[in-house]
Amino acid sequence: MPHSIQIKNQEFRLHPTGGIFWVEKSMLLISDVHLGKVAHFRKFGAAVPQKAIHKNFMLLDEIVNAFQPFQICFLGDLFHSSLNKEWQLFENWVEKTPAEIILVAGNHDIIAPEKFEALTIQLFQELVIDGFLLTHHPEERENFFNFCGHIHPAIQMQGFGRQRLKLPCFFKKRHQLILPAFGEFTGTFVLEPTKEDEVFAIVEDEVVKV
């Protein structure tokens, strides 16, 4: 189930796949899908299951079907490295997806801009929309609230005894929200929240404030 929050009098719905739906703009924010990573590792002999490739596209379909957005904004690291066979799967996915697609480039987005432009995907280094700053790397800029990715945030929970559970999360600071990595096989980085921070963990099919 999505979890709704208010920022600057705007409603944002945090979805358990790791994306955020900006209600007033009908814009879906997704970060760090890392398409092509599975194929990249399999090429060099890593024992990564083939089904992980299709899981990314299943998750994309799930969140798009849930919100039916006018726009989809990928906040960087959409594709993990150079072109491989997953690019054709991505082309097929774009063709059947009615929403306008935007990419805020990340450090892994090394594919030639012409390839994205051929799919009518607009590329930006950053986007500023009504007091919100959309970037890949976390940024602090006066008078703006920043949505970003790159970190692959997670929270470590302490259970009974010595049990520890690491969960991907949406990590919200006073003027910033870091999205979890959307893609399968991406890894996470544990962040330590302060008293001012808010953490929304992804627990199975729910987003839970912790």
Q: What whole-number distance in Å separates Cα of residue 56 and Cα of residue 203?
A: 18
What burial class does residue 119 get, using C-beta atoms within 10 Å of its C-beta: 0-12 exposed, 13-18 middle, 19+ buried?
Answer: middle
- As a whole number of Å, the end-to-end CA separation of the chain is 15
List, in sequence order, every residue forming a beta bridge with 200; answer none if it has no partner. Answer: 170, 209
- Tens of pLDDT, residue by residue, the chain (210 residues): 899 999 999 999 999 999 999 999 999 999 999 887 655 455 545 545 566 678 889 999 999 999 999 999 999 999 866 566 788 999 999 999 999 999 999 987 888 899 999 999 999 999 999 999 999 999 999 999 999 999 999 999 876 666 778 999 999 999 999 999 998 667 799 999 999 999 999 998 999 999
Q: Given this model, what pLDDT does residue 141 score?
A: 96
Q: CA triplet 33, 154, 69: central angle to 5 degrees? A: 40
Q: How confident is the model at residue 52, as a pLDDT? A: 64
Domains of the chain listed by start with CATH number? 3-209 (3.60.21)
Q: In this structure, is the dihedral angle defined by the CA atoms of residues 37, 38, 39 and 40, taken in order, positive or negative?
A: positive
Query: Which pLDDT value is given to residue 144?
Result: 98
